Each structure stands twice: as C-alpha cells, then as structure tokens.
Amino acid sequence: MVYQVYLRSFADGNGDGVGDLAGLTARLPYLSDLGVTALWLTPWYVSPMADGGYDVADYRDIDPVFGTLADAADLVAAAHAHHLKVIIDIVPNHCSDQHPWFRAAVAAGPGSAERTKFWFRPGRGESGELPPNDWPSKFGGSAWTRITEPDGSPGEWYLHLFAAEQPDFNWDNPAVRAEFVDILRFWLDRGVDGFRIDVADTLVKDSALPDVASLAPGARLPWEDQDALHGIYRSWRALIDSYPGDRVFVGELWMKPLPAMRPYLLGDQLHTAFNFDFLGAPWEAGRLREVIDGTLDAIGAAAPWVLSNHDVTRHLTRYGRASTSTRWQPDAGPADLALGTRRARAAILLMLALPGGCYLYQGEELGLWEVEDIPAELIADPIFERTGHALRGRDGCRVPLPWQADAPGFGFGPADGTPPWLPQPREWRQLAADHEAGDDTSMLALYRTALRLRAALAAADDASPGDNRLDWLDSPAGVLAFARPGLQAVVNLSAEPVALPQHAEVLLASGPLDAGLLPPDTAVWLSRG
C-alpha cells in the first residue's frame, strides 16, 4: 500500500511556503495511522524546478528547498521507525539543463565526447534553422531546442521529450548507464527501500532518429525501444537485490496497453508498474471489469491499482464530469463535486478490494478535488507555457494539503510562514485533516477503516497463501460484484438501487444503504454468507 507524496505540496516544515522533508517527517504519524506501508516521494534532488523537480541538476544531493542530506537520512530513519518503506523517484530519461554534464556538453562544442551523453544534432534547412526531426515534446511544441555555441553562433539542437530544460540522456552511451548504477547505489547505501522510475519506457531512442511521420502506421515509436530496456532494468534489479531487506522497484509506464507491461515483469526486472488503464478508465462497469480482468490476466498478483497521481486530474473531479475518463483538457466541462465525492468513496472500496498493490495519491484520502481556477500568473507547470496556454497542466492536483481547518494556509506550514505556493480553495476548510479526523462520515474515516480492514483480511488470507483470486458474481447490468477471500465487494455504477447478494454482514459501505438496497454510485464490502 503505497502513498505518493508530492513533496512540494505535502507539508512545509520551514515556513517558506513549499513542502519539504522536515514537514513530511513531522507528519509521518498521520501516514502510519492511515495504514499505508510505503511512501513514494517525488524527486527531492537539486533542481531549478522547471518541472517541479523532474529536472535534476544533481542526483546525489537534496534541493535546499526540501532540506539536506541529513534531513533525508532523518526522514528515512523516522519512516522506518514507523514501519514505512521509502521509495524515491529516479529520473533517468533526462536531467536539467543546469546539470554539470549538460553544461559541459554545451561548452565543449559539436563533435565532443561531452555531447554524446545527450542527443545533439545539426538542424535541417539551409542554415540549420529547422529541428533535426519532427518529434513532439510531450509538454507541447517540438522536442528540439537550438543552442548558441560557445563562440556565439547559432548551433546544434538537443532533444528533450519533455520541457526544454530537460535534455534527454543518450542511453547508448556507457557513461550514462554507469552513472545511474552509481546513483542507485548512492541512495541504496543511504537506506532507501526502492525506486520509482520516471518515464521508465522511453530511455532508449532509435539512434537514426527517424521522423515519426515516416513510420508505418502502428509502428513502435522511436523512443519506445522496450527490448533495449531489459538489460538496463535487469542490472538495476540485480543491484537492488544485492542489498538486504525487501526492496521495491516500480516503473512508470505511461498509458501502455497491458501486454506491453509484461516484458518488465518477467521476474528479474521491475516488481511492478503503474496501471494507467485503471486510472484512465471511465466510471463505467463494463470498462472497469475489462481493465480488472486484463490486468489480472497479464500480471496476476503483482497487479497495481491507482486512481490518481500528480500528473492527472484528481479522480473525484473526473468522476463528477459528464466524461469521466478525461485526464485533463481545456474543455473537460464542469464537475459535480457531490457526485464525484460519492463515486470517489465507492471507487476506493472497489480499488482496495482488488488483489495486488495499491497507490494512493496524497489528499485523495481527504476528498480533495482538482483546483481548476488557479490564477494564470501562479501556474508553474511548464505545460501551460509550452502549449501557448491551451492546457493549464497539472498544478490543480498539486495544491498544498489542508492539515488544520483553523490555521493560516490550513496548517500547510508554520502559522507565521509564507503562504502555500499555490492558493487553496476556501472550501477546503471542511476537508482539513484535523476536521475530518473527528468525523466518522468523512473521506478520511472511510480510508482509515477500509485500509485497516483490508490489512486484516490480507493477514487472514496469509493462512491460505496464493489465494489471490477474484471471482465475479452474477450481478445486474452496471454493477460490479466479486468475491475475494473473506469478502464480497459490490459496486453499483448503474442509475438504480440494487439488491445485495446473500451475505452475513455489511463490513463497510461507502454511503448509506436505502432500505437494504445499494444506491447508485455506492459500494459495499460484505462478509460472505
């Protein structure tokens, strides 16, 4: 049960308005009470923050805005004392344009060994004024930026699949491979329990850099050479396994169809990956069932489930829209937050009833919604500028957490500190952690109870190892009903109340039952009759 901490927005210990390690360490009791067993921290490295820390300038130190190496050591020790594992984000696809290797590459000039650690190429056109190929940046615009050479002349272009401040490494270069093994070792030596690999599937590029437009329809994209990744991940896994203790190795695979995940999960590579099919599925029984079956068929007990993360519209808001599968769009339409809340309550009971591991994204346990009215001048996500303001990007799911209903900034930082780096909606007073902690009907109470119950059921299930089955039960259209060891879960995604299957008792419900019937957008856990 992994809880994702988006560090900048979790808790501010030093009063500068930005979340940090001291803030996180102070809030560990909350996470351990919640019932999670591991934390995944978004990047804590030295970074100019052009992409919230996913632009790393020094992989072996902590950014001063987050703290110091000593704070990181304190956090790891304190987390372990709370029986929480610490998984850190590793960003191997690209670094920051302020990374010493990239600066050296720019300074060293065309044809230098330094430039072979990245993808530098001359431009096309008469005077090299056009990008070397047609690859798009995933944040909008071209994936190429032209540099000025040290002598002041317009120079080569470099590849960046994301922002221009994030030059892509060339993974064909053995120096890059060796560097990352060394970085992993650096952090393993400091006691971290695992790694989440950022954009795990795009490291290796086809060095011919063919135009995308020249590819046959359906051909693999030239930055998605999955085969070449096996050797890399196999060697990382061997390194991780050489350290004592159980360690976790998670890959971020962006919206891949499930079969494409298989190669990473052969046993000697990643332990698991994110299930973006589940995250992207609409609130619709047929599609959810298809994704659940597809996931279990593909990877069985290693199945990972996730509803939200720091890159997508919070699921509470998605589920309140007319189109519930929308991740983020300029015209996604208004959200009915009451409906979204009801569905989010049902969705967490669905997810936590499934076999396998789950990821929670900070704030979902409080019922936070996507903040869609952040003033344009405060938007920090590079997507906003790179798309010419067509997309507002991901800041709406990164708004600092409300901890205390009656404190300035809802207790995100010290009372006399700088306000949180993004403004929090006034209505979040009701969603502050201290407010919800005293309310049995709150989202937080539901998460705590469900996580506790899930752990108890899993512990009981250990008596019959291997029983990771999920048996679908007969149910009316629009209803998901399945049996698991010790439990039946029923989720009503239809518009009508439905009768419950035969059961001994109601263990937990996401909302009140209606004369014994399960209302729409409500889920229930039953003990088996």
Q: How far apart are CB 161 and ligand GLC at their closest, in Å?
A: 8
What does DSSP say about strands 85-90 and 45-46: parallel, antiparallel, or unpaired? unpaired
Nearer to ligand GLC, 49 or 106 (CB): 49
To ligand GLC, the closest distance from the beta carbon of 368 in angstroms equals 18
Nearer to ligand GLC, 91 or 432 (CB): 91
Question: Within its chain, how far is the Cα of 117 from the centroid?
Answer: 27
- Distances in Å between the Cα of 90 and the Cα atoms of 23, 201, 250 are 21, 13, 10
Q: How far apart are CA 458 and CA 465, in angstroms?
A: 10
| Cβ distance to ligand GLC smaller for residue 162 or 384 | 162
Nearer to ligand GLC, 149 or 252 (CB): 252
| Smaller CB separation from ligand GLC, 118 or 162 | 162
- CB count within 10 Å of CB 28 equals 16
Of 343 and 398, CB closest to ligand GLC:
398
Minimal distance in Å, beta carbon 6 to ligand GLC? 9
Q: How far is the CB of 201 from ligand GLC (least distance, A)?
A: 10
Task: Please give the Cα distance from 244 to 193 (Å, whole number).
Answer: 10
Nearer to ligand GLC, 311 or 364 (CB): 311
**Of the listed 252, 385, 434, 461, which one is catalytic?**
252
Q: Find the Cα–Cα–Cα–Cα dihedral 154, 155, 157, 158, rounded to 10°.
A: -120
- Please indicate whether residue 198 is annotated as part of the active site: yes
Catalytic (active site) residue 311 = no
* From 20, 97, 168, 198, the catalytic residue: 198
Helix (H, G, I), strand (E, B) or coil at 134: coil
Assess contact for 398 and 422: CB atoms under 8 A.
yes
The least distance separating ligand GLC from the CB of residue 139, rounded to whole angstroms, comes to 7
State the residue number with the nearest CB to ligand GLC: 54
Can you say how many angstroms the Cα of residue 473 is from the centroid of all Cα atoms in its chain? 32
Q: In what order do the strands lie in the sheet with 503-509?
A: 471-472, 479-484, 487-492, 522-528, 503-509
What 8-state DSSP symbol labels residue 374?
-
CA-to-CA separations, 97 to 76, 111, 169, 467, in angstroms, rounded: 29, 19, 11, 49
> What is the nearest approach in angstroms of ligand GLC to the Cβ of residue 166?
6
Tokens linked to 350: 């669905």
Where does this chain bind ligand GLC (CB under 6 A)? 51, 54, 91, 162, 198-199, 252, 310-311
In the complex, least distance from residue 51 CB atom to ligand GLC, rounded to whole angstroms: 5
Q: How far, in whole angstroms, is CA 197 from its chain's centroid?
A: 10
Strand (E) or helix (H) holding 147: strand 144-148
Query: With b meaning 16 or more CB within 10 Å and e meaning fewer, what string describes 68-97?
Result: eeebbeebbebbeeeebbbbbbbbbbbbbb
Name the minimum Å distance from CB 89 to ligand GLC.
8
- The length of the chain, given as a count of residues: 529
Toward ligand GLC, which CB reaches closer, 155 or 194? 194
User: What's the token pair of residue 390?
Assistant: 């067509």
SS3 for 525? strand
Q: Give min distance, CB of 313 to ligand GLC, in A.
A: 14
How is the beta sheet containing 144-148 ordered, strand by strand? 120-121, 154-159, 144-148
Question: Residue 278 pairs with which residues in a beta bridge?
Answer: none
Output 147-152 pairs: Cβ under 8 A, ≥24 positions apart.
147/106, 149/109, 149/110, 150/106, 150/107, 150/109
12 or 89: CB nearest ligand GLC: 89
Give catalytic residue positions.
198, 252
